[in-house]
Homo-oligomer: A and B are copies of this chain.
């Protein structure tokens, strides 16, 4: 059956409707570790399993707007703090059997946020938490969310290479050391402090100086660090490439 023949007998109303949901892989830095926002499902299927925050797209709502709404609901955030969160579309997942109830296509999004309060307060979720990404393996995840999360993490690692989005994990003003900590955490690699410092300052538009410094040195000594804010670059040129990716090339 070709498309013409198919359409001749196909009326969308004849088939169970396809539901469209938006899900959000929301990442943040807490206590030096990468955390992911999860909610616990209170109803079948996958009752009691952990899942990405998400839900049906509302009528007259754009996909990314839906993702931002879901993020706002789960984090209890609004206004300027919500607007500062980076949000982009990740990918869509539509395997026919990914939801046992009906055909559901999920448009997944990826969010980078600075340290946020616990989601419980102000949230409508049955239960929600920021889970360290390192603790993911021990959780039962609903649907194909394990795959979605893995895709999101890989996208995040890649985005840090050629965009300045690492700054979105930090407050408006930050030190180069804090920025390096973001890279080390997302990439799971220690980086050379001196080389990283020189590199960040040499990429045009990555960071710009505030002219101020931290009030105190580090907790274990050292001079006060200069403070920077995000620059106006949208792409890093040259990029900050992850070291030693030979293994993943083939």
Contact = CB atoms under 8 A, between A and B. Distances in A.
Contact of A205 (B15, B232, B249): B249
Nearest to A63: B94
A63 to B, nearest CB: 4
Report which residue of A3, A7, A56, A62 has the largest number of chain B beta carbons within 10 angstroms of its beta carbon.
A3
20 contacts: A3-B70, A6-B55, A10-B56, A12-B17, A12-B56, A15-B59, A17-B18, A18-B18, A20-B105, A60-B96, A61-B96, A62-B94, A62-B96, A89-B91, A204-B249, A233-B249, A233-B250, A235-B245, A235-B248, A235-B249
A238 B103 CA distance: 42
Interface string A48-75: 0000000111111111000000100100
Given A18-B18, A57-B105, A94-B107, 8 more contacts: A2-B124, A5-B124, A6-B58, A7-B55, A92-B92, A232-B250, A235-B248, A237-B245
B15 A18 contact: no
Contacts of A232: 250
Contacts of A61: 96
Interface of A: 2-7, 10, 12-13, 15-20, 55-63, 70, 73, 89, 91-96, 103, 105, 107, 124, 204-205, 232-235, 237, 245-246, 248-250
Contacts of A15: 59
Contacts of A92: 63, 89, 92, 107
A95 B66 CA distance: 11
Nearest 3 A/B pairs, CB to CB: A17-B17, A63-B94, A4-B124
A113 to B, nearest CB: 19
B13 A105 contact: no
A54 B4 CA distance: 12
A233 B249 CA distance: 6
A124 B8 CA distance: 12
Contacts of A89: 91-92
A219 to B, nearest CB: 37
Nearest to A60: B96
